[in-house]
Amino acid sequence: MTQTTLPRASARGVAPRQRRRSGWVLLLLALLAILMAVGLSAGAVVHQARQYDNTPTDAIVVLGAAQYSGEPSPVFANRLDHAAELYQAGVANQIVTVGGKVPGDFTSEAEVGAEYLVSQGVPRSAIVVVAKGRDTLGSFRPLDRLERRYAWKSLTIVSDRSHLARSSAIADAMGFDAHVSGPASGDGSTVTPIKVAIETAGLLRFAAYDRWQLEGRV
């Protein structure tokens, strides 16, 4: 019985085809992994947007938003109103207002938020002002130092509903037991496909990049 062998040229062509096939398989797996990450992140954004958690915590953190000449924007005021409601309901004994100021502002988002809360009946002694941060991550960074001062272990985060997943992820990465609650109605409360897409991208960026910087600092 004779053994059939491939011509030399044919044998040389097998390896490149196998490499190309392996390359396509790896590319397909990478695309599937990306799609899965996007899907899971979008699902987290939508899921957290539905949470109205009134579990008692150590402090309520209100994320800043635009303010105009010392007056909170409608979106910011809606967040602050919701935080005041949670405070009055006994969710926490302290409210933390966060957010710095942009060039040209004479006051910070955090200070404006504190003044507004006082006007809504929240005692000034119950408010902690953190006038730092130009974005979500920057607003959370100072809380690490304050956690040691006030012994905060758990937080209730108040923001727009579509923004809660990323905010919760940041707080979790800092070691807090994070709970979330957003206004059920009013300015900033709607969850649109565009908002979900933006926050999904933000959550993916945090997981892939910002989280490691944050954990290195903490």
* 162 class by beta-carbon count within 10 Å (0-12 exposed, 13-18 middle, 19+ buried): buried
Domain 49-217 architecture = 3-Layer(aba) Sandwich (3.40)
Domain limits of the chain? 49-217
Angle, CA 176 vertex, CA 216 and CA 36 arms, to 5°: 75
pTM score, whole prediction: 0.79
Residue-by-residue pLDDT tens, the chain, 218 positions:
555 555 555 555 556 667 677 777 777 777 787 778 777 777 777 877 787 888 999 999 999 988 988 899 999 999 999 999 999 999 999 999 999 988 777 899 999 999 999 999 999 999 999 998 888 888 888 898 888 889 899 999 999 988 899 999 999 889 899 999 999 888 888 888 898 898 888 888 888 777 776 655 54
The span from the CA of 35 to the CA of 91, in Å, is: 38
